[in-house]
Structure 1
Amino acid sequence: MNSRLPEISACRMSHMPSAPSGPSPSDRRRTKESRRAGEFPPAPEPLAVPVFDSHTHLDLTVQEAGVTGEGDPIDALIDAAAKSGIDRLMQVGVDVDSSRWGADLADRRGQVLAAVALHPNEAPRLSDLDEALRQIEALAARPRVRGVGETGLDTFRTGEEGRAAQEESFRAHIAIAKRHGKALIIHDRDAHADVLRVLDSEGAPDKVVLHCFSGDAEFAAECVRRGYYLSFAGTVTFASAANLRAAAAITPSSQMMVETDAPYLTPTPYRGRPNASYLIPITMRALADASGADLDTLCATVSANGDEVFGPW
């Protein structure tokens, strides 16, 4: 156990008062990626210039990895992040329940803003997509909800039979983001061309973030040309991810973000263990290396991008 993280433990909690009870429906899509058995990694060297985590799931981090200690487990995660130089978090919803939970959390925690949406893999499972979208729209109107996401397209986990519902949901989320003046946070898995097609068809909102950017340099260049923001996760540190490092190298710092997607996508050398916002410094250093940028300067720009896209915390 790293002494700088006394609040975080490999032991699972016996109760989770601050997170929704039971796994989110979207949790089932990542069963093979469960991090329950692993210990949290040691804290990296903190960043000298703070940044924000543009995409995290605090509820799933508590449920999957377990956070022990006195007090609120969510506070433990937020405090650990702050000690590493991560001063703000974007809590992202994947269904109605997690979106409502995130919106409520943002009202109570000044360091947290929320994004609300139906994950693309949820849309085909819903018996009443229209009603779920109505509830997401109501949440999107709340002042500390600053993003609509994660929404988009995922052809990796959803077969042909579910893709019409995915696209219908994506189009509806684009409209919600535009009606409420919120940033659109996109989940794009094996669907680059179709994501751009739908955005072209519907007209993109003013602010678009490609969550956990997974394309190559060519796709990155197209997204940059359109004015979108590219958010890089721990995957950019993977040995096999030369394409992501090439994408980061051509992404202007003014259009770059960093995220965890916690509790998933833990950066090297801790793959297979739970991820959390306090590990962002590892990813930021990889981005600075890939782009040839000074770390402190890059952190300052990435931090400013958060205010530009989501507004002040």
Structure 2
Amino acid sequence: MLIDAHAHLDDSKYEQDRHEMLMRAKERGVTHIVNVGYDLPSSKRSIQLAEEYEFIFAAVGVHPHDVKEAPPDILDRLKDLVIHPKVVAIGEIGLDYYRDLSPRELQQERFRKQIELAIEVGLPIIVHDREAHGDTMAILKEYEGRVAGVLHCFSGSWDMARECINMGYYISFAGPVTFNNANKLREVAAKVPLHRLLVETDAPYLTPEPHRGKRNESAYVYYVAERIAQLRNIPVEELAHAAAENTLRLFSKMNGTV
């Protein structure tokens, strides 16, 4: 049992073979996929994909890269989307200071507003954090105890991961944990308590070894789970099962659906 806790399978890179790619995931044992929006159009596409495939679920939100282009009424529009039964989270939302494609103050404002929306509608959040660890943690602390969520494609330190876990968040790992130069990330993946760990692909990005350099897909979440299981010296089946249970616990609207 495998769950890909974060993917973007509505991406145009899958236009020619999306169904075949999804069937490969099912054959690999993937039972659920959370397809994550990054702006209003992709959020709507995520819902459409979830309507087409019973094992796909949607998250809706605006990525920090895209907040400057979002319409003024974006929160109202997202609120209209979350009533869909297959929308399981608000995301991905957060801060990205690596590319700074949106002004940092606007990123922070929209991050807070989307967290507040998640609290209002009772959904967890999917947090994007790239080279913005300090401000991300400061904002999450403002809402500590009021919202559940996951730090997706985690890239911080063990101290940061431990602090997030203490606030009730889950930590999700993607393809980079398999990269040869990812020693610090592997150290974190080995230490995160098993009941707080998720696995994902972030497909079509961050393809894990041994397929690095090619388009990512949900079937490859197996390689993420396999590498973390090796680090922890446990069977991959045990790691995959624990991560799947954690994902279903976090995204509770998925329970009993597949």
TM bucket, shorter chain: over 0.9
Paired residue for 2:132, among 191, 195, 201? 191
CA contact (8 A) 1:174 1:205 kept: no
Cα distance per residue 1:205-256 (max 9 Å; x no partner): 4321001011122211212222210110000001111111111111011110
CA distance in 1, matches of 2:192, 2:146: 20
For residue 191 of structure 1, report the CA deviation from its aligned partner: 0.9
Give the aligned partner of residue 299 of structure 1: 240
CA distance in 2, matches of 1:51, 1:246: 22
Paired residue for 2:147, among 206, 217, 225? 206
Is 1:120 equivalent to 2:64 in the alignment? yes
Give the aligned partner of residue 81 of structure 1: 25
Give the aligned partner of residue 265 of structure 1: 206
**More divergent stretch after superposition (204-213 vs 168-177):** 204-213
Q: Which runs of 5+ in 1 are unaligned?
A: 1-49
For residue 65 of structure 1, report the CA deviation from its aligned partner: 5.2
> Which amino acid is 1:294 matched to?
P
CA distance in 1, matches of 2:196, 2:120: 23
CA distance in 1, matches of 2:150, 2:16: 29
Question: Which structure has the larger Rg over C-alpha atoms?
Answer: 1
Give the aligned partner of residue 103 of structure 1: 47
CA distance in 2, matches of 1:121, 1:205: 25
Give the aligned partner of residue 64 of structure 1: 13
Q: TM-score scaled to structure 1, two decimals?
A: 0.77
CA contact (8 A) 2:144 2:167 kept: no
For residue 125 of structure 1, report the CA deviation from its aligned partner: 3.1
Describe the SS at the equivalent of 1:146. strand
Q: Give matches, 1:1-313, under 5 Å.
A: 50-60=1-11, 63-64=12-13, 67-68=16-17, 73=18, 75-126=19-70, 128=71, 130-158=72-100, 162-203=103-144, 205-311=146-252, 312=255, 313=257
Cα distance per residue 1:74-124 (max 9 Å; x no partner): x32221101111111001001101101111222332101100001111012
The percentage of counterpart residues that share the same residue type is: 35
CA contact (8 A) 2:207 2:216 kept: yes
For residue 270 of structure 1, report the CA deviation from its aligned partner: 2.0
Q: TM-score scaled to structure 2, two decimals?
A: 0.93
Aligned residues: 254
> Which amino acid is 1:104 matched to?
Q
CA distance in 1, matches of 2:65, 2:146: 22
Describe the SS at the equivalent of 2:73. helix
CA contact (8 A) 2:177 2:227 kept: yes
Q: Over aligned residue pairs, what C-alpha RMSD do you find? A: 1.6
